[in-house]
Structure 1
Amino acid sequence: MTTIDTSAQTRADEVLVPAPRPQKRSFLDSTPAKVLLPAIVLATAIGLWEISVQAGLVNPITVPAASDTFIALFEMMQTEYFWAATWLTLQETLLGFAVGSSLGLVIGALTGTFKVFRTAIWPFVVAFQNTPRVALAPVFLTWFGFGMTSKVVMAAVICFFPVVINTVAGLASVDDNARVLFRTYGASTPQTFFKLTLPTAAPISFAGIKTALTLALLGAIVGEFVGAAEGLGVLVKEFNFQLEVASGFAVVVFLAVIGLVLYGLIELLERRLITWQH
């Protein structure tokens, strides 16, 4: 009877099967690419904007040149009223986001966890989402007045639904087989939640939170459009009424920068909290 040398066979297999090579990281995934490519797109857009106005392709009365817009923004940034309006709008945005996202997480968690709650509440959540929120701004103005409260409520209402729907979707994405496996090994309900449900649902829920923060800024501006004495939305409205189009565009550009910064901050927070995804 012939004896097979299994150890020699194993060594031969290790020699014959090459080790997997580490995959090279794409340039598009690198930090320079993430900075350089958007910068090129932005510079191109600003250049085309400036050229189209200077060449007479666009009426400067309706669309000011990029140079005029940035000059107006620089001049406004030297004034005290501009930063006071910015601070007020930021307060309305952040407070509305805190209220709306917190309620969204709670309602979403209850809806995604308990079937009776989903059956009873979900139709009203969908109906509320389909209601034009802009049309509610005058109602909130009547209820809460011209102060900050009506803008905070408007921001909270607009950013509420993305958090709810993403939280429900995140909870629904948990694998049923994984739940059964946890129960098989005797895991308690808190253990299942913190070790399975939360890690699975958190990335999807955070996607809704990132969207909600930018929508909260939109809600604050809409509330200021309808009725307010201060804020960046008020500045846009006043500049347009006074036909200071460059200044109005400058505030809009500044609002876009604020939205980008807020989105970046919440994405940075996501990377710090949800380390297992990255």
Structure 2
Amino acid sequence: MKATLEKADPVQSKSGFIRKIFKKEALLSIALLVLLLAAWEILSRIGVLHPLILPAPTVVFSATLELLASSFLYLHLGVTLYETIAGFFIGSFLAIILGIVVSSNPTLYKVLNPFIVVFQAIPKIALAPIFVTWFGFGPTAKIVMAITICFFPTFVNTVVGLKSVDEESRLLFQSLVAKKKDTFFKLSLPTALPFIFAGLKSSLTFALIGAIVGEFVGANEGIGMLLDTFNFQLEMGKVYALIVILSIIALLLYLLIEWLDKKLIFWADRDNNN
């Protein structure tokens, strides 16, 4: 009976097989993680790994719980998140607007593209002291740093997405004497949105990196400042705990954009395996 059903519905049979494969891979990933943590713990306990270089996972876990129970962590975390989100929204907005403008004007694209590429090639860490000099030790310098780092992925993806519109579809709109506004909102933008969201996923993570880098260079608050302080005090357990917390936050921000992507761009082609 089971064989008959599989033969009658090969798509369902294939999807069930794929789910089993992914479930097996997930279990293997968890097993590998547990094995690595156990090896890390044992090597730390027997003295192979120095606690100042790589503290034991139990030490990091204990430090994480201690930080999460403290009130000052959330004050600094709020500052970093504010800088990250503000930089992300401003940088992404500017990137999308500029991407739309240069995509609709090939001459302008050729004129501006070399400057944009050269600016992207500049190591952003070299700009951090300059931004601190210009804007001081407050959040403005970190927001500008986040804007600088997160701008390029969204800009490039916006341009690529708008240039990937199917030529036959464009000709169809022209044959229907569609206005430029209608062509943009009903053809070009829907085609480009999957590309734009792909850029936004990277940009949000880069914005967090930009805020942290700015706080490293000069700040009196923020997670970057805490990392600097704990590192100077050789409290390596708390340093790694902050890294774990930042990793979780970055993952949650990424998943938020991923969720918005799937909800808002429901017409986009998805991986059939998902």
State the TM-score, normalized to the length of structure 1.
0.87
Residue pairs, 1:1-278, within 5 angstroms: 21-23=10-12, 24-26=14-16, 28=18, 33=23, 39-277=30-268, 278=270
Q: Match for 1:104: what amino acid?
A: A
Q: Match for 1:96: what amino acid?
A: G
The answer for unaligned runs of 5 or more in structure 1 is 1-17
- Give distance in 2, aligned partners of 1:253 and 1:271: 27
Listed one character per residue, the Cα deviations across residues 84-131 of structure 1 (whole Å, up to 9, x for unaligned) are 111111001000101111111111111222112202211111011001
- Give distance in 1, aligned partners of 2:19 and 2:188: 29
- Give distance in 1, aligned partners of 2:242 and 2:140: 23
Cα distance, 1:26–1:122 mapped onto 2, change above 3 Å? farther
Q: CA deviation at 1:35?
A: 6.5
- Give distance in 1, aligned partners of 2:75 and 2:18: 40
Aligned residues: 261
- Give distance in 2, aligned partners of 1:120 and 1:26: 52
Matching residue of 2:4: none
- Give distance in 2, aligned partners of 1:119 and 1:80: 51
Q: Match for 1:135: what amino acid?
A: A
- Give distance in 2, aligned partners of 1:178 and 1:29: 36
Cα distance, 1:251–1:119 mapped onto 2, change above 3 Å? same
Q: CA deviation at 1:37?
A: 5.9
- Give distance in 2, aligned partners of 1:154 and 1:165: 19
Q: CA deviation at 1:188?
A: 2.2
Q: Match for 1:202: what amino acid?
A: L
Q: CA deviation at 1:252?
A: 0.8
Q: Match for 2:72: what amino acid?
A: Y
Q: CA deviation at 1:20?
A: 7.8
Q: CA deviation at 1:42?
A: 3.9
How many percent identity over aligned positions?
45
- Give distance in 2, aligned partners of 1:147 and 1:55: 44
Q: CA deviation at 1:153?
A: 0.5
Root-mean-square deviation (Å) = 2.2
- Give distance in 2, aligned partners of 1:41 and 1:90: 32
More moved, 41-50 vs 128-137: 41-50
Find the structure with the greater CA-based Rg.
1
Q: CA deviation at 1:36?
A: 5.2
Q: Match for 2:38: what amino acid?
A: G
**What's the secondary structure of 2:202's corresponding residue?**
helix
- Give distance in 2, aligned partners of 1:238 and 1:42: 29
Q: CA deviation at 1:244?
A: 0.6
Cα distance, 1:27–1:21 mapped onto 2, change above 3 Å? closer
- Give distance in 1, aligned partners of 2:184 and 2:168: 15
Cα distance, 1:157–1:90 mapped onto 2, change above 3 Å? same
Q: Match for 2:187: what amino acid?
A: L
State the TM-score, normalized to the length of structure 2.
0.88
Q: CA deviation at 1:171?
A: 1.1
- Give distance in 2, aligned partners of 1:35 and 1:258: 21
Listed one character per residue, the Cα deviations across residues 113-162 of structure 1 (whole Å, up to 9, x for unaligned) are 21122022111110110011110000000000000100111011100001
